[in-house]
């Protein structure tokens, strides 16, 4: 399978830092960076293919299209069957965490900043372990 990682955040410094962490963790050699949910949605829809799996590291609070709006939008598209979302946010609000769990595409909820250890755990989790077994990463 072909895994593509998207990092979605409106803060350029966070994007830069998270890109380095994703690359160093081995989750992806070349993650795609998006400044908001609309950019991410447009990218997913333009790159969709039956063999492609997407892991989206998604911020909640962004302009143009926030994380919740992104989650609502992907549910309307066939690509949603192959998207695994990890909420990556500075929000420590329990309501946000509960809301995230109500979305079927949300695999995990992490607080910023992500670390190598967090990403290594994510990579070795059962879900991503299946994605990486025998397929390598992109």
Percent of the chain with pLDDT over 70: 90
For the segment 62-84, the average pLDDT, to the nearest whole number, is 90
Q: Which of 9-13, 24-28, 89-93 has the lowest mean pLDDT?
A: 89-93
Look at residue 126 and tell me whether its pLDDT is greater than 60: no
pLDDT, one tens digit per residue, over 111-120 is 998 999 999 8
Look at residue 105 and tell me whether its pLDDT is greater than 90: no
Which contiguous run of DSSP H or E holds residue 8? strand 2-8
Alpha helices in the chain (DSSP H): 12-25, 37-47, 67-74, 94-101, 116-124, 126-132
Which of the pair, 66 or 136, is modelled with greater confidence?
66
What is the reported pLDDT for 129?
52
- Taking the CA atoms of the chain, what radius of gyration do you get in angstroms? 14
Q: How far apart are CA 73 and CA 94, in angstroms?
A: 23
Q: How far apart are CA 137 and CA 135, in angstroms?
A: 7
Look at residue 59 and tell me whether its pLDDT is greater than 50: yes
Look at residue 70 and tell me whether its pLDDT is greater than 90: yes
């Amino acid at each position: 399978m072909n895994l593509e990682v998207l990092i979605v955040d409106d803060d350029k410094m966070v994007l830069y830092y998270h890109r380095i962490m994703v690359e160093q963790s081995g989750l992806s050699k070349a993650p795609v960076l998006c400044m908001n949910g609309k950019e991410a949605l447009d990218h997913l829809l333009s790159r969709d293919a039956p063999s492609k799996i997407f892991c989206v590291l998604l911020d909640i609070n962004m302009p143009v299209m926030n994380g919740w709006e992104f989650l609502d939008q992907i549910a309307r598209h066939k690509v949603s069957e192959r998207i695994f979302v990890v909420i990556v946010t500075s929000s420590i609000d329990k309501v946000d965490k509960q809301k995230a769990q109500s979305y079927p595409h949300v695999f995990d909820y992490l607080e910023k900043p992500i670390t190598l250890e967090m990403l290594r755990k994510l990579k070795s989790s059962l879900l991503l372990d299946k994605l990486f077994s025998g397929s390598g990463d992109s």
